[in-house]
Every structure is written in C-alpha cells, then in structure tokens.
Structure 1
Amino acid sequence: MSTAQRPILFVSLPESGLLNPLLVLAGELARRGVPDLWFATDEPRRADVQRLAAASAVEFASLGEVFSELSAVSWTDEVYREVTQSSRFKAHRAVIRQSYRPDLQAEKYRRLETVADKCEPALMVIDCVAGYAVDLAIARGIPYVLSVPFLPSNVLTSHSPFGPSYTPKGFPVPHSGLPFPMSPAQRLTNRLFKLRTLALFLNPAMGKVLSEDARIRKELGLPSPSPMTRIDRAEMVLCNSVPELDYRFDIPAKVKLLGAMVPPLPKADRAEDDGGVLDWLDAQSSVVYMGFGTITRLTREQVAALVEVARRLEGRHQVLWKLPVEQQHLLPPREELPGNLRIEGWVPSQLDVLAHPKVEVFFTHGGGNGFHEGVYFGKPLVVRPLWVDCFDQAVRGRDFGISLTLDRPQEVDPADVVDKLTRVLGDPSFRRNAERIGEAQRAAGGRTAAADLLLGLPALAATPA
C-alpha cells in the first residue's frame, strides 16, 4: 500500500505563448485522473484553468492581477514600439529594461510562497520565463520541470560572451535572428550582440536595478542568479520543438524535445461555432490564414496593406484573418473589403483552423507556439517577425525550407507579402518540408509523452505508507 502523491503545481505567466502549453499538459493529466493538480497564474486566466477539469480537477491558485509592466499585452504603445523596432539588439535591450523588475518579481514570489505553503507540491512545472517560480523551487528544494515553448537553443545559449552555454562557440545568440553557420560579418554582429548585452548590465542605470535585485534576493534568502541555473537545477526540461527545427548541436539529455503541445482535436464543437468558421473553411478550395498572435498591434496603414494583400489574391485564394476586435476599427468600410476576405475577432480554435485541409499557408508573426503549431499540421509559413524570438524562428524556417520572411517586417508592403505567399504556395517543396517536420513533431509525442515523462519522475513516486 502507498500514500497518495503530493500535488503537482504548475506556474506560468499569463501570456498565452507561455501559458498555453502548460494548460495543455495540465489538461492531459486531468483527463488521466491524476489527483492534486494545482495551477498558479494571474487572476484573469482563472476561467482557462477551471475549464481543464476532467476526470480530476485542476485547482486554480491566483497570483493576483497582472502587473502591466511585466505583461506585453498591456505595455504602452511607446514600449511596444521600442520592443518591436527594426534594430534587433535595441529591441532585445528594450525587452530587458522593461521586464527586469525585481520588485514586481518579488511580489509574485511572495504570492507564490502562499500557494506553495497551502498545497506543498511534490513537483513544480514552470514556464521558463517565470523566474520567481524557479527561485522558489530552488529555495525550498522542490524538484521542478521547466517548460520551453521556444527553440531549444533559446534557453541553452548564453547572452554573455563569457557565460556558460550548451551550444558551441559562435552559435547565434538568441533574439539576433542570425543563421548558422555565419559569414564573417554575421559572426562579428553576433559577437557584438553579446558584448552589448554585457555592457547593458554595466550601465549605471541598470546597476541600480541590479543592486535592488541583490537586496531583495538577500531579504528573501535567495542565491545570486546564474545564467544557466534554471536549466542546471531542473529535473527535466520539456521543449515544444524538435531537432529538425533548430541548428544542430548536442542537446543535454535532460532536455526532452516533444514537438508542439497540442490538445486533442477537434478542440472546438461545431455546434458552438456560431460564426460558422469551420463550415466556411469546408466550402473553400484554398485558404490563406493570417494570425499574428495576441501581442501584435497593427497600425491603420498596416491593416489597409493587409486588406490589399487579400484583394490581390482574389480569384485564387480565400483569406481568413484573425484580427482582434479592438483593432477592427482600423479597417476600411465593410463595402470596400474584397469578397475573398473573412475577418474574425476570434476563432473557436486556431489549432482546428491550422489542421483544416483547406488551409494552405499560415501568415504569422513567428512566435514560438504559432511557428511550431503551423508546422505540426504540415503548413508552410510566411513570417512577419514581431520581436525577440520571432526572428530566430523565422531564419530557421527559411533555412529549413518551410517558410519565407518579409523583407521589411516593420512595414507591410502588399507586393512583398503577395510575392512571398505566391512563392510558398507555388513551390511544393515548402509543403513537403513542412509535412516532413510536422510528422517528426507528431512522432515526438507532445502532451502524451510529456505527461508520461512527468509521471515517471522520482519526485512523484508513491512512498510506502
């Protein structure tokens, strides 16, 4: 006879790109009837967690309201422009300056402490950006698993020229959008990117933030951070990618490449699809799907340019555009929209759309989830990179023959977009490559393999009564 295992505590920031893979994994465990599942995130995601209840429940643990300074969705327009500017290093620097807030991280840490006191987890499963949760797990000696919705090199490559790294010397630094191997000029750019990142932390203004961080960490009894600590101390790293989507390097054994974390499909019930999106897809012959994630903020000029893209595709392809309701006021009058364009503020399931056989190409911002999910379903891509990791995914997609990238992502030139879409749609090699890598992703096991790996960890082994 054995005692019941203690809880598994999932922890994530509220951003969809970080949260969604963990929702899928927690939902898989709930369907299996695994008991004592807890999920800690910010209050606005309560309903998303509560919907996971199946053969067992998932207890929602609130970490309070979203701190706007830490949430990309709620950043000011000025900050948004800074983090999405054309200079990749300046955008990278802007993200660090905006998100490195020791005081706010400490507040989330304290709230998570209360949750941990209540549920006493045997294991934590943490999104790789939730540094406060990693700190708590290490401070309390709680075994933890890291969730990575990016390419494996994103968390295994140091941003410092002198820091430890699991990738070889000269590997492209994350957020640089550089290829591998590189030309001499690109190698210099890569080196400078790391040196400039190091210099950023030597700046007097950043020095004050570092001092504040050191003070808070001492107050909380936390050790000084190290670039690879979150990887080194993790029991396991679950990465939602496959080797075929990153440049080749030796991946540590604890890093498990599982492909996109996709729930059972169809996710949407057609009876609840009030807009009839899925029925509409059934009736088409060829559809271009445009979806740019939850962070992208288009201007009136960019919206007009994308409407013109649809107009130029009329007679050849239908266009389904997921455009948030709050941005739809930027559209021209309805009577001026081309007849092949369908605009939805919400689709019942983006995964069901990507899985649909009539969808021929995915026009995306190239975020970690969308990039991997598109290829999971064998769809070639056209990428308008938004920021940081999007450029890294875009260059790999191009090099592996599954996508093309806009020449000037900050602008939306209809001629450039139509050219890229036409080339991807007209060259069958893009689809063949996407289908081949999609098959590799499905074979990697996704949510089922991740659940099996979690449940096999020693931390969850039942102990004798």
Structure 2
Amino acid sequence: MGSIRRPVLFVSYAESGLLNPLLVLAQELSRRGVEDLWFATDEKARAEIGAASVKTPVEFASLGDVVPQMSAVTWDDETYREVTQRSRFKAHRAVIKHSFAPESRVEKYRRLEAVVEEVRPALMVVESMCQFGYELAITKGIPFVLGVPFVPSNVLTSHVPFAKSYTPSGFPVPHSGLPRDMTYAQRAENQLFRLRTLGMFMNSSMRKVVEEDNLIRTELGIAPEARQMMARIDHAEMVLCYSVPELDYPFPMPEKVRLVGAMVPPLPQAPDDGGLSEWLDGQKSVVYMGFGTITRLTREQVGALVEVTRRLEGGRSVLWKLPAEQQELLPPPEQLPDNLRIEAWVPSQLDVLAHPKVDVFFTHAGGNGYHEGLYFGKPLVVRPLWVDCDDQAVRGQDFGVSLTLDRPETVDPDDVYDKLTRVLGNSAFRKRAEYFSSLLRDAGGRAAAADLLLGLPALTEAGPVIPPAPSTAASAND
C-alpha cells in the first residue's frame, strides 16, 4: 500500500556561496519536522548535507565530483587573473568563456535525472546558477523554486539588448558595477556592455560552443522552453531572493519574486570556536577581514593589509580570515602587529559578524557576505572581487553603508586605511547599516522562506499516491 509523498529536492553546486543559503532552508524544514527532504549536490558537500538534519533527515544525493570549469576555486592563476581583472566587461567575458562549457553539464544532468526518477520530487528548490537543475525541472514539468543569493536585479536583467528583461530600459547591466544615476558616458557604457556581450556569441569560436550546447541539449532531451534566456524566472513557481527591495535600485518587482532577507541559521552557529569569542570579548573594537573562498591575495597585497593593521594599533584590532595556503605570504611572526589575529577558517562567520565588538566588515561584497554583514548592522569596506561584487559594492556606497577601495587591484595601504577610518569614524555608516539590518530581519529570513515554500500548491494539494522508493536507493547516494 503506497502513501502520499511530497518529497522536496534541493539542487545546487557545492560552492559555499551558492550552497549555504539553500542548506539553511533545508535545515529549517528539517527543524520543523518536514519529511522526505533531499539535497543533490557535488560529492565534496556530503558531510555538510549530513549535518543539516535536525528532526527529520536531509538525505544526500551525490552528483559526482566537482566540475573544474564551474568551480572558481579550482581555476588556475591565469584564469583567476582574467576573471578578476578591473575591466568589468573583460572580467565578465572571461567568466563566460571559462564557465560556458556545455559538456560539463552532461554528467550532472544525467545524475540528477536518475535522482529525480528515484525520489520523484513534488517540488525542486534550485540555486539560480545551477543551469542543469532548472533545465531538468522545466523539461520534466516539476514545479520548482529558484533560490537567488544576489540582489534581485542580478537575475531579472538581461545581459544582451533586445532580449526579455524584468527591469526597465537603461537599468544597470549585471556585472557592470554601474550606478542607477548614470552620467551620459556611463549610459553609453551600459549599452555597450550589452552589445559587447551579444557580440561575444557571434565570433566563430563561441558559435562553435553554442552549436555544441544545442547538440547536447538535444541529446539530453531538454525541452525547448528551458532554453529561453529568462526560462529560470518565467517557469519558476516562485523566486526566493535573499535580499530586500531597498538594497537594490527600484524597479517594478514581479509578483513571483519574494524577498526574504539574509538566510541566517540559529546562532550561535558554532559555540565551540576555539576561544575566538573570548578573544573578541576582550577587544575594544574589531575590524573583521574576510574575502570569501575565491580571493587569492599576492604577497604584496598581504603585506599591505599587515601594514594597515599596524596603523590601526592603539584601539582597533583586526581579525583576518586568511586561508592556510596564503599564510605563507605573511611576514615572519615577529614582524606581525600585536593587534592582529589570523585564522585560516572561522567556525562561523555569522557568529563573528554578530559579535558586538566587530565594528566594520572588510569584504569582497559577494552576495551572501554583503547581506550578512548588513543583517548584523555592520558597515562595510569593500574590495570587490568580480561579477556581482561590483554591483553590490556600488549599491552599498550609494545607500550609505559602505565605501569601496579606489585601487582594489593593488590594495594600496593608504587607500585601505583611509576607507576603514572613514567608515569607523562616521556614525552615519553604522546608522544606515542598522537601518538595513532592521529591514533584513523584518523580511523573515529562513522562517519566511520555509513558510512560503510550504504554502506552495505542490506541497499543499493532494498529490499522487507514490509507491515507496525501490531498493536502488543506495545508487543515488554512491
């Protein structure tokens, strides 16, 4: 005798900036006792998914190893330099060049297809960068929710002219780093950004990749409607965006877009933090430096940040999350200032940002870090890294919550020190950050996202009677 099942299947790449918000949501559903939760992602995230279970299991479905083209942390140094160069269009072009690899989706699509055939989800929750995830949902006719860790216009604005866009004409193109109020030259730059993006796909080498993409889509049986430029928006039941309207430039928001604020789990997230909390307690004022998992600093840049820390001595301490492989670029220990604490990894960045002694967040302004810093009322100093970071940086500066380095590529100590002391010395930055903190908290975060998800027809209406999963369950977890 079968039973009515309404499985929910989360799908994401395993990059932390993409995975973590969906993981918080899956954990919230588990905390509420929701049954039949599944999470499909790359093998390297198996332990993280396993740790998400609270009252009910969150089952892990492996999509295999990480695809190097889709994982910025695996790119070689030359590629890294190309995608993080300061010419925003050239960086944007380099990201497309290195990540538009149709063959890389084949195994992921087929593995996910096998998971879907076994789990038979009533609803899929797909991270917005996970193309094979929403293509499969559209092709199979499975209701899906799109999760977006950026400001909403990032996924609602077309990169090319003459294409469908949910934002008005002249809106800043994603990855351009342009403000809402543009000069004549900036308006021209904005239009040129679109035209140059379109032009990329007209050269012979890129046309070959597009042809290969079309062949692979046909081979996989991907539905034509899944190939449209705005397919992930048009066909989604709902778009869950981890922001608030006030943190983006204003435009008419589609009804299906629900802004729920930052996805923050219950805190403390890591009570046993190796004495880090006690150290924070003992400081007068702390600058937290954390540039995500992708940033690769040079020896000169590391030295510049050490010099900035030295200049802050006499009342300000610095907590620096610096990966172990980059710590070899530091000066000898005896040359490091006493007000500097370096950690290869902090157990919870959220716990750090929540600490009352942390007064400013020095960040690359990735989607999660940008919103998380403001969720805890911390003003920002921004060294934008790439793509969406430039867009969030310009909005933060326009909204009075941050300052952006003038020379992020060199990390000039005078520039960094100037921006940090200006933000620390002007209470207006903190007041604006606290204002946005209240908006982000009022948006409801993980609780609001879970309520919206559980209220969708796919999970509330009587669904088909689905027999128990066959005994091949282990195959999805191999």
The answer to whether the 8 A contact 2:138-2:223 is kept is no
The answer to whether the 8 A contact 1:5-1:460 is kept is no
Q: How does 1:280-429 map to 2 (within 5 A)?
A: 280-429=279-428
The answer to whether the 8 A contact 1:7-1:38 is kept is yes
Give the Cα separation in 2 of the matches to 1:221 and 1:265: 44
Q: How does 1:44-63 map to 2 (within 5 A)?
A: 44-63=44-63
Partner of 2:276: 277
Give the Cα separation in 2 of the matches to 1:399 and 1:391: 12
Partner of 1:33: 33
The answer to whether the 8 A contact 1:3-1:462 is kept is no
| Offset at residue 4 of structure 1 (A) | 3.7
Give the Cα separation in 2 of the matches to 1:187 and 1:223: 37
| Offset at residue 223 of structure 1 (A) | 3.3
Matched letter for residue 131 of structure 2 = G
Matched letter for residue 145 of structure 2 = V
Give the Cα separation in 2 of the matches to 1:7 and 1:118: 11
Give the Cα separation in 2 of the matches to 1:93 and 1:139: 29
Q: How does 1:66-215 map to 2 (within 5 A)?
A: 66-215=66-215
SS of 1:60's partner is: strand
Give the Cα separation in 1 of the matches to 2:284 and 2:245: 33
Give the Cα separation in 1 of the matches to 2:5 and 2:367: 33
| Offset at residue 459 of structure 1 (A) | 0.4
Partner of 2:269: 267
SS of 1:29's partner is: helix
Matched letter for residue 460 of structure 2 = A
SS of 1:101's partner is: coil
Partner of 2:248: 246
| Offset at residue 5 of structure 1 (A) | 3.2
Give the Cα separation in 2 of the matches to 1:4 and 1:218: 34
The answer to whether the 8 A contact 2:161-2:195 is kept is yes
Give the Cα separation in 1 of the matches to 2:461 and 2:53: 23
The answer to whether the 8 A contact 1:288-1:363 is kept is yes
SS of 1:102's partner is: coil
Give the Cα separation in 1 of the matches to 2:56 and 2:321: 33
| Offset at residue 408 of structure 1 (A) | 1.2
Give the share of equivalent positions with the same residue, in percent: 68
Partner of 2:476: none
2:234 counterpart of 1:223: no
Partner of 1:237: 239
Give the Cα separation in 1 of the matches to 2:71 and 2:237: 28
| Offset at residue 302 of structure 1 (A) | 0.5
Give the root-mean-square deviation of aligned CA atoms: 1.0
The answer to whether the 8 A contact 1:175-1:389 is kept is yes
Deviates more, 1:55-64 or 1:216-225: 216-225
Matched letter for residue 17 of structure 1 = G
The answer to whether the 8 A contact 2:149-2:367 is kept is yes
Partner of 1:65: 65
| Offset at residue 316 of structure 1 (A) | 2.5
Give the number of equivalent residue pairs. 461
Give the Cα separation in 1 of the matches to 2:418 and 2:5: 56
| Offset at residue 55 of structure 1 (A) | 0.6
| Offset at residue 396 of structure 1 (A) | 0.2
Give the Cα separation in 1 of the matches to 2:4 and 2:212: 42
SS of 1:357's partner is: coil
SS of 1:33's partner is: coil
Give the Cα separation in 2 of the matches to 1:387 and 1:84: 5
Unaligned stretches of 5+ residues in structure 1: none
The answer to whether the 8 A contact 2:23-2:52 is kept is yes
Give the Cα separation in 2 of the matches to 1:279 and 1:326: 26
Give the Cα separation in 2 of the matches to 1:318 and 1:441: 28
Give the Cα separation in 2 of the matches to 1:159 and 1:430: 32
| Offset at residue 3 of structure 1 (A) | 4.9
Residue deviations 1:205-251 (CA, integer Å, cap 9, x gap): 00000000111111122234111110000000000000111000011
The answer to whether the 8 A contact 2:167-2:252 is kept is yes
Give the Cα separation in 2 of the matches to 1:372 and 1:359: 16
| Offset at residue 117 of structure 1 (A) | 1.0
Residue deviations 1:279-320 (CA, integer Å, cap 9, x gap): 100111100000000000001111000100100101130000
Residue deviations 1:100-156 (CA, integer Å, cap 9, x gap): 111111221011011111101000000000000101001100000000000000000
Partner of 1:455: 454
Give the Cα separation in 2 of the matches to 1:461 and 1:273: 40
The answer to whether the 8 A contact 1:3-1:463 is kept is no
TM-score (norm 1): 0.98
The answer to whether the 8 A contact 2:40-2:60 is kept is yes
Matched letter for residue 403 of structure 1 = S
Residue deviations 1:40-94 (CA, integer Å, cap 9, x gap): 0000000000001111000000000101121001111110000000100000000
The answer to whether the 8 A contact 2:298-2:329 is kept is yes
Partner of 2:471: none
| Offset at residue 462 of structure 1 (A) | 4.7
Residue deviations 1:254-287 (CA, integer Å, cap 9, x gap): 0001111000111111xx222x111100111100
Partner of 2:438: 439
